[in-house]
Amino acid sequence: MIKNGKNVGGRPTKYKPEYCEQIVRYFSRRPTRRVEMKHYDKTGAYKWSDWRIEARPLPTFLEFSMKIGVDDDTLVEWSKEENKAKYPGFSAAYARAKELQKRFLIENGLNGSFNPQFAIFVAKNITDMKDKQEMDHNPDGKPIQISVVSYEPKNG
């Protein structure tokens, strides 16, 4: 709150409207890159090149928050429903960034660029994906445990 030209409601926000575009751009990075592999003979002379696909580092909200000089909890606060009027556009940009991060993780998980166990762990912890356990019954009444990997969309 501003009173007599002074901020009496605490520290002023570090929020800037351009963060909406910046966060989406930051998380829009390509998941992989082509890396040239040069081959040489015994004398050290260049013979040929081939290419391999390499995963880029997973973009994180912690890294982005450090880049703009705030705590990652601040990003969550700016994205909350009750703060939409205070930080216009940021909630939608944050949600888009989360979807881009999920796509990045899925693409590198599927192409084998990430360790499978670690990709599963990360997916469960930073996306809406999770292991789902369901119980079914045999005709004889004994339960059968079925494990299913699934995700539950936030809006549905």
pLDDT in tens, the chain (156 residues): 445 545 466 788 899 999 999 999 999 999 999 999 999 999 999 999 999 889 999 999 999 999 999 999 999 999 999 999 999 999 999 999 999 999 999 999 988 899 889 888 988 888 888 877 666 666 676 666 666 555 555 554
pLDDT score recorded for residue 152: 58
Q: With contact defined as beta carbons under 8 Å apart, do 74 and 65 qualify?
A: yes
Q: Model-level pTM?
A: 0.72
Cα angle 11, 96, 117 (rounded to 5 degrees) comes to: 105
Residue 102 to residue 104: CA distance in whole angstroms: 5
pLDDT score recorded for residue 5: 44
pLDDT score recorded for residue 78: 97
pLDDT score recorded for residue 132: 74
